[in-house]
Amino acid sequence: MQHGILPLWKERGMTSHDCVFKIRKILHTKKVGHTGTLDPGVEGVLPICIGNATRLAEYLTDAGKVYEAIIEIGTSTTTEDAEGDVVEEDTTEKHITRLQVLEALKALTGVITQTPPMFSAVKVNGRKLYEYARRGETIERPTRQITIYALDLLDHCEEYHGKTITFPVRIACSKGTYIRTLAVQIGEILGYPAHMASLVRTKSGTFTKEDCVTLDQLQEKAENDKLNECIKPLEYALVDYPHFEITTDNRKKIINGQVLPMHPSLEEHDRIVYMENNKAVAVYVKHPEKKGLMKPEKMFPKVD
């Protein structure tokens, strides 16, 4: 059985679950999970966890993401992207300067508040928002704080003219960010309805497009017994945390998942990783109740 992380390039037109379903068939295993939904109309980096690496899916889901989007000024939609029905349209001739766009992007950089769109998978009262939306219901949605680490304009235009204006941006952001909603927020600052015309995820955690394979490429590698060329060790999900080699003194306790005296590195890091022969054995975190101690958050069975 395969164990590791597959950096997949999800193509447009597929849901994230479609990808998981196809990978299960290609690899002949049910133990497959994605690390954060990409809408069908979005392409990009989608790390897939396989086998024991599914235990680390939450780490990859929590990792920062980078996107490239086209923002369209002049029209808003029900879904906040190009897939939805038009809600508002401003057909006036517009004139927006580069400085105005840059100021809008600057205002939305840092910790900001977003309200998830009605057409999203956020749950309210046990039901996903898009289930309400499909029934024509609009309900109160919880706002959330997210972080925009960088928001860059990717063209060199000094002025934008026309009834419809578009410009490309790159967004580095925390988990839970809705780029669709960010497009609407940019429009609000500029004084016009807006939506996200297109979106590509160019980076997820440490994985970029260069690391990825498509489903067709994965199928080909499986047929030629070359899966090791594209499935990364599960340790790739742990690169942001300090690593320590197990010793003869603590090996038995760590292998058995016992509570240990807290390692000094946990004062500065959320997690530490214990390794043996370059393989992760356990991830330890501060004990939530017992001061000065740490406990295993994840354990990894030995794989032959």
Cα angle 117, 119, 122 (rounded to 5 degrees) comes to 70
90 an active-site residue? no
Q: How far apart are CA 190 and CA 104, in angstroms?
A: 7
Residue 137 φ then ψ, to 5°? -95, 140
For tokens 């530490």, name the residue.
Answer: 272
Phi-psi domain of 169 (left: phi exceeds 0; alpha: psi -120 through 50; beta: other): beta
Q: How far apart are CA 21 and CA 97, in angstroms?
A: 46
Q: How far apart are CA 79 and CA 83, in angstroms?
A: 7
Residue 228 φ then ψ, to 5°? -65, -15
Q: How far apart are CA 147 and CA 103, in angstroms?
A: 17
Sign for the pseudo-dihedral over CA of 177, 178, 179, 185 = negative
Q: Which of 18, 39, 62, 85 is catalytic?
A: 39
Positions annotated as catalytic residues are 39
